[in-house]
C-alpha cells in the first residue's frame, strides 16, 4: 500500500450530506472485475443522467475540478452498504483523501485499508472549507503528520484514529502484521476448543 | 481479564469482546478471533486477494457461503437469467468449492438471505463474533452476538487468519420502556430511534438494546431491530440472550445439541451485562409514544409518524439540514408540508433481511386477507424455510388473491442486484432498510415501513395508517404459533 504523508492537490467541493455507498457506486456496476477499474462508475447517477449525459451542475463534471485528488463534503459520507467497491471507485477515479464532518464506520475502515485518508473535521470547518474552495484556486494541502488542512487562508485541524494514521503514514497492510501473530492465534484456538467445545457446528446437513 | 478496557462491571458487549481477544496492542488495537464468517456473491474481491497470495482459508469449518444478493426470485434456473448475474452466483460456487466451504446454494432447502438463514439454521448463537461482507450483519446481534459488516479487505483477512484488528468501540444503550401500541412493530421502534438520534447517531458505538419493550419483542422482532443498527451508524447492535433466545435455538440444525447445548446455555446466560456496567451514552424511548412510521426522504433518519406531514425546509434554522431536506423532497417528488397519507404509491415490496420472516408475512397477510391491492407488488420470503412455513399457513394464497406476486427468497428488490427493480420515478412502499437515492434502481423512490404498513399502502394505493385496517384481525399476527 502507498505511504500517505502530505498531499498537495485540487480539492473538489461536493456540498451534499449523506452520500451513501449506494451512490458512490450503484449496485448495478458491482458485477465487474476490479481489473477493469471502477473510476468511471463513481457517483454515476449524480454525474450522469439516464441517457449517460453529464449533469453540468455536478462539481465532478466541472472543468475546474478535473484532476482533484481531495473531495470535501458534508456529514455522514460513506454511510450504508459495506461495499469496498465504493472506495475502489473513489481511488480509481483519483481521490486519495475525503474530508467530511463524519463518515460511515465501515467505509472509513475500508478507505484506510486502501490507502485513502478519511479526514474528519467539524461541521463549521467543513462549511468554511467548502466556501473557501469555491472562491479560491481550489488547491489544498493535507498533512497527515500534523493533521492539518491548508486551503486559501484557512488552517483546519482534522481528526483520524491514531492507529489508522500510523497505518497510512507507513503504508502498512494488516495481513502481514497479523501473520506475525500466528502462534498467538494458534494458541487461542487450542484453548478455545476446550472452553467452548460447542463452537464448531457438528451437524452438517446436506 | 487483562484485555478489559477497565476493571469494574462489564457490559454484554465487553464480556464477549474480551473473550475473543487473541492479542492486544499498546495502541488499543485488539486482534479478535472470529467465530462465524458468512460469505455471499460479493466476496469475489476477497477471494481474488487470496488467490494473489496463494493463500488458503484458515477455518473452513467456521466459514459459510450463502447465495442471496444476486439470486433470481422468479426462477431458479441460472440458464434463464442475465449471464452477468449468473456469473456472480457461479463465481461463489467456484470459490466455495475450491476452498471446501459449505455453501447454501439456490437448490438448498435452507437457502435464504444470509441474515435470515443464519439464525434459522442455528449458525447464529449468543456470545459469538460474526462477520459478513454486508452491513446488515448486525442483525445477528439479536441473539447476543457481536456481529458486524466488513469490507472486502477484511473479508480476505478473516479468510486467511480467522481474526480482525478492532478497536473497542464506545458503548451505547438504547432502552425502550413500556408497551408498544397495537399495530406498532419493531420496525417502527427502529425507525423512531434513527429519526431521533440521526443516521450517524450511533457512529463509533456498539449498541445494546434493552428495556421492557425490547424484552417483549419476539426473536423476529429483535432481528428487525438489530438489523437497522447500521442505519443509525452503529457498529453493531445486540440484545442480551434470555430464555426466549434459548427456546428459539433448541433443535436448530447447526446449533449445539444435548449436553453441549445445556453447557453452552449456561455460558450464554452469563454473558448478560452487569447491572452497574457503564455506557458511554444512553438513549431512552417511551414505547407508548411510538406510532407507525414511514420515511419521506432519502435517508432512514428522514422518518415520521404516518399521521405527520413532510417537513418544510423554509422553516428550518439549520442550514445544512434544510439543504438536505430540500434535496430529499425534490428527489422524492413531495411538497413541503404535504400530509404523508396523501402520497400515492406505484408498487409495494415485502421482503429483505429487515422484514421477511414469518412474523412479518403474517402481519402483512393479516391486513391483506380478503382485500385487493391497488398496485402491483412483490412478496419475497426471507428463506426457503420461511416460504414453506408461509405456504403451510396459507399466507401465499392471501398475497396472490390480493394481486401480489409470491416469489422465491433472496435480497431481491431491496438492492436490485438480481434485476428486481423499481422503475425510474416510481414510488415503492418497501419493508426494506434503505431509502437511499436509486437504491431500488436508478431514479426509484423508496418509502420504508413495516410489513403491515406496506400491506395497507398496497390496499389503498397511498401511504396509510394501517391501524384501522387491522381492527378485528389482530389474531392474524400470531397465527400458526
Contact between chains at A200 and B61 (C-beta distance less than 8 A): yes
Residue B323's Cα: distance from chain center in Å? Answer: 29
Q: Which of B320, B138, B141 is nearest to B229 (CA)?
A: B138
Query: Considering all CA atoms of chain B, what is the largest pairwise distance in Å, rounded to the nearest integer?
Result: 64
Write the pLDDT tens digit of every residue in B137-165. Answer: 999 999 999 999 999 999 999 999 999 99
A167 three-class SS = helix
Contact between chains at A28 and B199 (C-beta distance less than 8 A): no
B-chain residue closest to A114, CA distance: B153
Q: To which H or E segment does residue A187 belong? A: helix A182-195
Contacts of A109 in chain B (CB under 8 A): 150-151, 154
Across B346-351, average pLDDT: 98
pLDDT at B478: 78
Q: Which of B389, B373, B369 is nearest to B381 (CA)?
A: B389
Write the pLDDT tens digit of every residue in B84-138. Answer: 999 999 999 999 999 999 999 999 999 999 999 999 999 999 999 999 999 999 9
Grid cell locating A96 = 486519495
CA distances from B89 to A81, B42, B84 (A): 20, 9, 9
Q: Residue A202 above 90 pLDDT?
A: no
Q: Mutating which of A199, A200, A202 best tests the B interface, going by the most B Cβ atoms within 10 A?
A: A199
pLDDT at A2: 87
B-chain residue closest to A109, CA distance: B151
Contact between chains at A203 and B267 (C-beta distance less than 8 A): no
Write the pLDDT tens digit of every residue in B417-459. Answer: 999 999 999 999 999 999 999 999 999 999 999 999 999 999 9
Nearest chain B Cα distance for residue A92, angstroms: 15
Nearest chain B Cα distance for residue A134, angstroms: 17
Write the pLDDT tens digit of every residue in B191-243. Answer: 999 999 999 999 999 999 999 999 999 999 999 999 999 999 999 999 999 99
Contacts of A174 in chain B (CB under 8 A): 153, 157, 165
pLDDT at B479: 66
Contact between chains at A80 and B84 (C-beta distance less than 8 A): no
Q: Identify the structural domains of chain B with CATH numbers, from first to last.
A: 12-246+254-282 (3.30.499.10), 292-473 (3.30.499.10)
Contact between chains at A45 and B438 (C-beta distance less than 8 A): yes
Distance CA A57, CA A47 (A): 9
Contact between chains at A106 and B135 (C-beta distance less than 8 A): yes
A-chain residue closest to B318, CA distance: A123
Across A169-198, average pLDDT: 95
Contacts of B139 in chain A (CB under 8 A): none
Contacts of A38 in chain B (CB under 8 A): none
ipTM of the complex: 0.96
Contact between chains at B42 and A45 (C-beta distance less than 8 A): no
Contact between chains at A113 and B151 (C-beta distance less than 8 A): yes
pLDDT at B314: 97
pLDDT at A28: 94
Q: Is B310 exposed, middle or buried (0-12, 13-18, 19+ CB in 10 A)?
A: buried
Of A1-5, A128-132, A147-151, the poorest mean pLDDT is in A1-5
Write the pLDDT tens digit of every residue in B1-48. Answer: 444 555 689 999 999 999 999 999 988 999 999 999 999 999 999 999
Contact between chains at B416 and A28 (C-beta distance less than 8 A): yes
B-chain residue closest to A20, CA distance: B436
pLDDT at A206: 43
Write the pLDDT tens digit of every residue in B456-478. Answer: 999 999 999 999 999 999 888 87
A-chain residue closest to B440, CA distance: A27
Write the pLDDT tens digit of every residue in B43-75. Answer: 999 999 999 999 999 999 999 999 999 999 999
Q: Residue A153 above 60 pLDDT?
A: yes
A77 three-class SS = strand
Q: Identify the structural domains of chain A with CATH numbers, from first to last.
A: 6-172 (3.20.19.10)
Write the pLDDT tens digit of every residue in A6-61. Answer: 999 999 999 999 999 999 999 999 999 999 999 999 999 999 998 999 999 999 99
Contact between chains at A76 and B165 (C-beta distance less than 8 A): no
Residue in B70, B84, B152 nearest the CB of A84: B152
Q: Which long-range contacts (CB under 8 A, 24 or more apart) does B321-327 make?
A: B323/A15, B323/A17, B324/A17, B324/A18, B324/A74, B324/B297, B324/B299, B325/B297, B327/A16, B327/B298
Query: What average pLDDT does the structure give for chain B?
Result: 96
Across B393-400, average pLDDT: 98
pLDDT at A176: 87
Contacts of B119 in chain A (CB under 8 A): none
Write the pLDDT tens digit of every residue in A74-104. Answer: 999 999 999 999 999 999 999 999 999 999 9
Q: Is B131 exposed, middle or buried (0-12, 13-18, 19+ CB in 10 A)?
A: buried
- Say if residues B328 and B295 touch (Cβ distance below 8 Å): no
Cross-strand partners of B29: B167
Q: Mutating which of B55, B108, B152, B207 best tests the A interface, going by the most A Cβ atoms within 10 A?
A: B152
- Say if residues B160 and B53 touch (Cβ distance below 8 Å): yes
Report, in angstroms and rounded to the nearest whole number, the Rg of chain A calculated over CA atoms.
20
Q: Could you tell me how many residues make up chain A?
A: 206
Residue in B133, B162, B267 nearest the CB of A82: B133
pLDDT at A29: 96
Contacts of B35 in chain A (CB under 8 A): 199
B-chain residue closest to A181, CA distance: B23
Q: Residue B271 above 50 pLDDT?
A: yes
Helix H, strand E, coil C: the string for chain B is: CCCCCCCCCCCHHHHHHHHCEEEECCCCEEEEECCEEEECHHHHHHHHHHHHHCCCCCCHHHEEEECCCCCCCCCCCHHHCCHHHHHHHHHHHHHHHHCCCEEECCCCCCCECHHHHHHHHCCCCCCCEEEECCHHHHHHHHHCCEEEECCHHHHHHHHHHCEEEEECCEEEEEEEECCCCCCCCHHHHHHHHHHHHCCCCCECEEEEEECHHHHCCCHHHHHHHHHHHHHHCECEEECCCCHHHHHHHCCCCCCCCHHHHHHHHHHHHCCCCCCCCCCCEEEEEEHHHCCCEEECCCCCCCEEECCCECCCHHHCCCHHHHHHHHHHHHHHCCCCCCEHHHCECCEEEECCCCCCCHHHHHHHHHHHCCCCCCCCEEECCCEHHHHHHHHHCCHHHHHHHCCCEECCCCCHHHCCCCCCCCCCCCEEEECCCCCCCCCCCCCCEEEECCHHHHHHHHHHCECCCCHHHHCCCHHHHHCCC
Q: For chain A, what percent of residues have pLDDT higher than 90?
A: 92
Amino acid at each position: 500500500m502507498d505511504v500517505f504523508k502530505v498531499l498537495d492537490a485540487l480539492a473538489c467541493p461536493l456540498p451534499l450530506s449523506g452520500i451513501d455507498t449506494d451512490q458512490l457506486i450503484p449496485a448495478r456496476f458491482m458485477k465487474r472485475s476490479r481489473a477493469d477499474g471502477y473510476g468511471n462508475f463513481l457517483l454515476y447517477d449524480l454525474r450522469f443522467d439516464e441517457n449517460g449525459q453529464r449533469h453540468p451542475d455536478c462539481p465532478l463534471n466541472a472543468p475546474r475540478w478535473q484532476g482533484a485528488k481531495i473531495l470535501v463534503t458534508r456529514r455522514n459520507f460513506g454511510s450504508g452498504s459495506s461495499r469496498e467497491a465504493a472506495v475502489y471507485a473513489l481511488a480509481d477515479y483519483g481521490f486519495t483523501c475525503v474530508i467530511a464532518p463524519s463518515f460511515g464506520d465501515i467505509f472509513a475502515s475500508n478507505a484506510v485499508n486502501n490507502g485513502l485518508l478519511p479526514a474528519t473535521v467539524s461541521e463549521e470547518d467543513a462549511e468554511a472549507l467548502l466556501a473557501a474552495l469555491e472562491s479560491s484556486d481550489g488547491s489544498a494541502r493535507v498533512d497527515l503528520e500534523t493533521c492539518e488542512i491548508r486551503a486559501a487562508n484557512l488552517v483546519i485541524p482534522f481528526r483520524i484514529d491514531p492507529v489508522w494514521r500510523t497505518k497510512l503514514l507507513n503504508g502498512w497492510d494488516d495481513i502481514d502484521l497479523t501473520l506475525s501473530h500466528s502462534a498467538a492465534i494458534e494458541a487461542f484456538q487450542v484453548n478455545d476448543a476446550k472452553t467452548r467445545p460447542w463452537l464448531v457446528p457438528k451437524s452438517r446437513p446436506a | 481479564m487483562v484485555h478489559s478496557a477497565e476493571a469494574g462491571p462489564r457490559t454484554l458487549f465487553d464480556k464477549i469482546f474480551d473473550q475473543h481477544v487473541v492479542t492486544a496492542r499498546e495502541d488499543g488495537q485488539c486482534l479478535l478471533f472470529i467465530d462465524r464468517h458468512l460469505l455471499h456473491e460479493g466476496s469475489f474481491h476477497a477471494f481474488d486477494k487470496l488467490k494473489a497470495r496463494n493463500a488458503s482459508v484458515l477455518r473452513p469449518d467456521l466459514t459459510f457461503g450463502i447465495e442471496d444478493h444476486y439470486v433470481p426470485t422468479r426462477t431458479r434456473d441460472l440458464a434463464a437469467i442475465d449471464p452477468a448475474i449468473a456469473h456472480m452466483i457461479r463465481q461463489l460456487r467456484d470459490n466455495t468449492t475450491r476452498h471446501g466451504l459449505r455453501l447454501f446454494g439456490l437448490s438448498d432447502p435452507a437457502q435464504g438471505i444470509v441474515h435470515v438463514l443464519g439464525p434459522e439454521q442455528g449458525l447464529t448463537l449468543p456470545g459469538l463474533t460474526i462477520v459478513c461482507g454486508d452491513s446488515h450483519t448486525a442483525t445477528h446481534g439479536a441473539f447476543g452476538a457481536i456481529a458486524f459488516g466488513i469490507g472486502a479487505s477484511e473479508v480476505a483477512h478473516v479468510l486467511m487468519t480467522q481474526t480482525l484488528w478492532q478497536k473497542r468501540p464506545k458503548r451505547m444503550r438504547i432502552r425502550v420502556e413500556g408497551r408498544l401500541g397495537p399495530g406498532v412493530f419493531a420496525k417502527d421502534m427502529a425507525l423512531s430511534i434513527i429519526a431521533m438520534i440521526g443516521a450517524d447517531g450511533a457512529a463509533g458505538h456498539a449498541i445494546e438494546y434493552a428495556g421492557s419493550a425490547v424484552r417483549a419483542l419476539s426473536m423476529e422482532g429483535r432481528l428487525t431491530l438489530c438489523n437497522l443498527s447500521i442505519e443509525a451508524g452503529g457498529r453493531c447492535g445486540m440484545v442480551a440472550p434470555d430464555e426466549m433466545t434459548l427456546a428459539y435455538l433448541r433443535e436448530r440444525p447447526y446449533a449445539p445439541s444435548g449436553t453441549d447445548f445445556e453447557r453452552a446455555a449456561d455460558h450464554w446466560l452469563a454473558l448478560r451485562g452487569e447491572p452497574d456496567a457503564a455506557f458511554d451514552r444512553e438513549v431512552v424511548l417511551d414505547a407508548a409514544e411510538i406510532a407507525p412510521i414511514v420515511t419521506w426522504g432519502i435517508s432512514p433518519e428522514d422518518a415520521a409518524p404516518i399521521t405527520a406531514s413532510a417537513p418544510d425546509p423554509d422553516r428550518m434554522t439549520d442550514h445544512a439540514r434544510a439543504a438536505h431536506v430540500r434535496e430529499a423532497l425534490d428527489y422524492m417528488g413531495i411538497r413541503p408540508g404535504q400530509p404523508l397519507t396523501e402520497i400515492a404509491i406505484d408498487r409495494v415490496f415485502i421482503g429483505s433481511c429487515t422484514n421477511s420472516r414469518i412474523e412479518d408475512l403474517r402481519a402483512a397477510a393479516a391486513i391483506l386477507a380478503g382485500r385487493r391491492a391497488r398496485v402491483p407488488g412483490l412478496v419475497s420470503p426471507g428463506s426457503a424455510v420461511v416460504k414453506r412455513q408461509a405456504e403451510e399457513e396459507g399466507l401465499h394464497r392471501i398475497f396472490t388473491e390480493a394481486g401480489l406476486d409470491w416469489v422465491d427468497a433472496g435480497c431481491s428488490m431491496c438492492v436490485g442486484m438480481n434485476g428486481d427493480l423499481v422503475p425510474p420515478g416510481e414510488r415503492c412502499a418497501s419493508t426494506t432498510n434503505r431509502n437511499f437515492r436509486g437504491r431500488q434502481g436508478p431514479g426509484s423512490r423508496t418509502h420504508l415501513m413495516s410489513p403491515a404498513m406496506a400491506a395497507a399502502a398496497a390496499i389503498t394505493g397511498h401511504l396509510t395508517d394501517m391501524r384501522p385496517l387491522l381492527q378485528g384481525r389482530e389474531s392474524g399476527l400470531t397465527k400458526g404459533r
